[in-house]
Copies of this chain bind each other. A is one copy, B any other.
């Protein structure tokens, strides 16, 4: 799929301009109409399952020829069950409240101007992602519900699947009399296409890259339009002096082993020195399948623990490996998290009220918890309804992003002839 760079540039510009025009229409339609489109998308996905699977089968064949791993092929695969599950996901988004139009505040000024802030869509959102074709539907549906047009650029290995899914989405838009350019899949799958897309200042309002760190860095370093990025999650649990040790053990086991390959999995455990002697042997027994890397105290108390290196404190293992450090105080735990944390998730296990309050206040992370597993830092688990991604930078959104995070606010002013003097 090699196309001359100038053609790519022209095509991406044309796609972006059409998306901008469609966004204008989407911004002012009511919730009922958006929900009707979503209902139709769910129905069309199920009705068109055979065509989707046929296209997906070709992607899978090519993937096998190209020697993709079984794990990659599994992520790529769309069977009937997965298509039904996608459709169910669409209906869930349909049931969520529409953030657009919400008046978040209104006040009267001394000169009698009535000033308010109202939620509006961001405009055009570009999603850049890798193999999973279900992201095409998930992202499009979240964008539509929040009144945004979207330009989707999936991985080359899922290209045929994505094109068929885009047609399904566009059929539903057309049936409701809405511009099909509200959802477009970029037909180029090389990086030149990405590069053009992320430089469409004035046409694209936000880029969300989802995928490996290489992709995210490429987008962050080359984009001219705003990017919301998700780098690593080095999540911490601190077992306080006043912890319920069985609760601490359960939270540690859940954080580390429930799904080790995800960003809210636990990576570093901090243990208060005064409970280390009782707690670490409990942990040793509970985490038999997990490699422990610890400081000298940990190694003394758990013979199988390997020495932790400086790098381990900075590492998102995404694997059955846990770094463990014994600390002298809550302050030392807070210092460690400030030095090594990735501002993602931190949880304290404690019965002490003052320590819980300090931890909640002082830890700089998108989600700070007391007595709960780090695995709850997730849009669905926190109650956002659905999640388009997790932001690890603080601008615009910090942590899981739901529908509200796909909107911004404008000022509205009701006057009766006011001028400035």
Contact = CB atoms under 8 A, between A and B. Distances in A.
Interface of A: 24, 27-28, 107, 109, 113, 115, 120, 122-123, 205-206, 220-221, 224, 226, 228, 244, 247, 250-251, 253-254, 258, 338, 347, 360-362, 364-373, 375-377, 381-383, 393-400, 408-420
Contacts of A414: 369-372
A275 to B, nearest CB: 16
Given A224-B221, A396-B396, A413 B244 contact: no
B410 A371 contact: no
* Count of chain copies: 2
Contact of A220 (B122, B224, B254): B224
Contacts of A122: 394-395
A410 B419 contact: no
A226 B224 contact: no
A29 B253 CA distance: 35
A250 B419 contact: yes
Main SS class of interface, A: mixed
A373 B413 CA distance: 10
A377 B220 CA distance: 32
Contact of A411 (B371, B399, B419): B399
Contact of A382 (B224, B250, B413): B413
A372 B244 contact: no
A247 B417 contact: yes
A357 to B, nearest CB: 10
Nearest to A258: B420
Given A395-B205, A395-B226, A420-B375, A367 B27 contact: no
B24 A372 contact: no
Contacts of A371: 414-418
Contacts of A398: 408-410
Contact of A394 (B107, B250, B408): B408
A393 B251 CA distance: 41
Contacts of A226: 226, 393, 395
A221 B409 CA distance: 25
A376 to B, nearest CB: 6
Contacts of A113: 372, 376, 381
Q: Which of A107, A366, A369, A409 has the most CB of B within 10 A?
A: A369
Given A109-B381, A221-B224, A368-B412, 15 more contacts: A27-B364, A113-B372, A113-B381, A205-B393, A206-B395, A250-B417, A254-B420, A258-B419, A372-B418, A375-B419, A381-B420, A395-B395, A395-B408, A396-B408, A400-B411
